[in-house]
Structure 1
Amino acid sequence: MLKDIDAVIFDLDGTLVDSMWMWESIDIEYLNRYGIELPKDLQKSIEGMSFSETAVYFKNRFQLLDSLDQIKSDWNKMAWYKYENEVPIKEGVKEFLEYLKEEGIPAGIATSNSRELVDLIIEKHGLKEYFKSIRTSCEVDKGKPSPDIYLLVAKDLEVKPERCLVFEDVLQGVMAGKNANMKVCAVYDKYSDKDQEQKKRLADYYVHSMKEIVL
């Protein structure tokens, strides 16, 4: 998997940490404040969007009066406790990151989450030392499946896109990695189980757990 690869780029939620389950519960709780029931198509509709794009989508779709900054602030507050107390790192992640560090293979993070929450997660799990670039989709023009965020991290790492390996758990993210002309390893996550076969078809590799990666 690492043959002819000069850098590895990871998505965060559902790939490095087991957190995708909590966002649906946050959406339910948030919309309940306004007496709105969670639409069945919501999670699929916002998949891959940046934190900012999702706020715009919510504001327009649900005709919210709050500002975009207020919406994002509310989400950050709601997610903070869960990330701090209920979200574990996924199995095999620390070992794989340690291997990359020992081998001198630079690593980056390309996430749709907010910078505030990313910093919290990285600090809590002691991951900062493993990454030379940590970027959010709010820093580029378009979220996933556009390749923008992955191309930005590759630029930070000073590695050509075709020499990068991406780890992603959701379909839109797998597409973003492929659109960036990178090799992609799809990662199992219960949240995206419905897209498993599509992820396998699109990606170059597939793992149920990072523990399966032969080092």
Structure 2
Amino acid sequence: MKNFKFAIFDLDGTLLESMEAWNNLGRDFLSSKGIKIPDNLNDIIKLMTLREAAEYFQTAFKINLSADEILIEMSIIMEAKYKNELELKPYVKEYLTILKNNNVKMCIASATPLYMIDAALRRLNIIDFFEFISSCDEVGVGKNQPDIFYYAAKKLKAEPSEIAVYEDADFALITAKEANFYTIGVYDKGFHDKRKNIELICDMYIESFKELL
């Protein structure tokens, strides 16, 4: 691995053990309404956006809320988890410390809303490692397009080839790789079934940040 002086980190599933919380969000919301949860709920909603899931809940379970109101309640559930519960993956803080000591400029680029990211990073006492936090909300598209990575690179004042991108998701790694960033795949059980493909996609693959200490 080259000694990069710039790094872009994904948050969920890369630095933070949070993918399970997102995967269980639908269940948590329905439980909060006292609704019996179908065994196949995750299969039904796994490819839906949050809005599509909210609209599905509204009609399938006859919830007397608008889709927007359901989205607000689901956001409140997740915000509480970011503020109070979610933990770092093993050896994340140790690795970030090494990079900081080597004057690597780091940032976060995530699809998660900024206020949730900020709450988690402050509670976990790692926000000072990063030059800035960026969200897909700021560029208007997800990580299936390179906008968020280019946006972060511009703020870091670096070229893509000078930046290491750390991601757990196959589609995000493909996007970053095609945009000429150096890509480091990080194992997360949420993408376990795609692991072999991820290893082929990225420039480097790790199961744990311990490998980089």
- Which range, TM-score by smaller chain? 0.7 to 0.9
Q: Cα–Cα, structure 1 residues 181 and 57, in superposed 2: closer, same or farther, change >3 Å?
A: farther
Matches within 5 A, 1:114-153: 114-153=113-152
Identity of aligned residues (%): 30
Task: Indicate whether 1:173 and 2:172 are aligned.
Answer: yes
User: How far, CA to CA, are the matches of 1:55 and 1:30 in structure 2?
Assistant: 12
Matches within 5 A, 1:38-187: 38-40=41-43, 42-43=45-46, 45=47, 54-59=49-54, 66-68=66-68, 70-187=69-186
Q: Cα–Cα, structure 1 residues 182 and 114, in superposed 2: closer, same or farther, change >3 Å?
A: same
Report if the CA contact (8 A) 2:146-2:179 is conserved. yes
Q: Deviations over 1:139-193 (max 9, x none)?
A: 1131012111111111111111111101111212212322332111111111211
Q: After the TM superposition, which of the residue ranges 152-161 and 176-185 deviates more from structure 2?
A: 176-185
User: How far, CA to CA, are the matches of 1:123 and 1:72 in structure 2?
Assistant: 24
State the Cα distance separating 1:133 from its structure 2 match.
Answer: 2.0
Report if the CA contact (8 A) 2:23-2:42 is conserved. no
Structure 1 gaps, min length 5: 47-53
Q: Cα–Cα, structure 1 residues 42 and 202, in superposed 2: closer, same or farther, change >3 Å?
A: farther
Report if the CA contact (8 A) 1:11-1:109 is conserved. yes
State the Cα distance separating 1:88 from its structure 2 match.
Answer: 1.3
Q: Cα–Cα, structure 1 residues 74 and 63, in superposed 2: closer, same or farther, change >3 Å?
A: closer
User: How far, CA to CA, are the matches of 1:61 and 1:7 in structure 2?
Assistant: 41
Q: Cα–Cα, structure 1 residues 194 and 61, in superposed 2: closer, same or farther, change >3 Å?
A: same
Counterpart residue type for residue 9 of structure 1: I
Counterpart residue type for residue 195 of structure 2: Q
Q: Cα–Cα, structure 1 residues 201 and 2, in superposed 2: closer, same or farther, change >3 Å?
A: same
Counterpart residue type for residue 122 of structure 1: L
3-state DSSP of counterpart to 1:129: helix
Q: How many residues align?
A: 204
State the Cα distance separating 1:55 from its structure 2 match.
Answer: 3.5
Structure 2 gaps, min length 5: 60-64
Q: Deviations over 1:58-114 (max 9, x none)?
A: 35656666254x344222211233333432111111111111111111001010111
TM-score, normalised via structure 1 length: 0.84
User: How far, CA to CA, are the matches of 2:25 and 2:43 in structure 1?
Assistant: 14
Counterpart residue type for residue 151 of structure 1: Y
User: How far, CA to CA, are the matches of 1:20 and 1:155 in structure 2?
Assistant: 28
Computing the radius of gyration over CA atoms, which structure comes out larger, 1 or 2? 2
Report if the CA contact (8 A) 2:114-2:133 is conserved. no
State the Cα distance separating 1:39 from its structure 2 match.
Answer: 4.5
Task: Indicate whether 1:2 and 2:2 are aligned.
Answer: yes
3-state DSSP of counterpart to 1:132: strand
Report if the CA contact (8 A) 1:146-1:179 is conserved. no
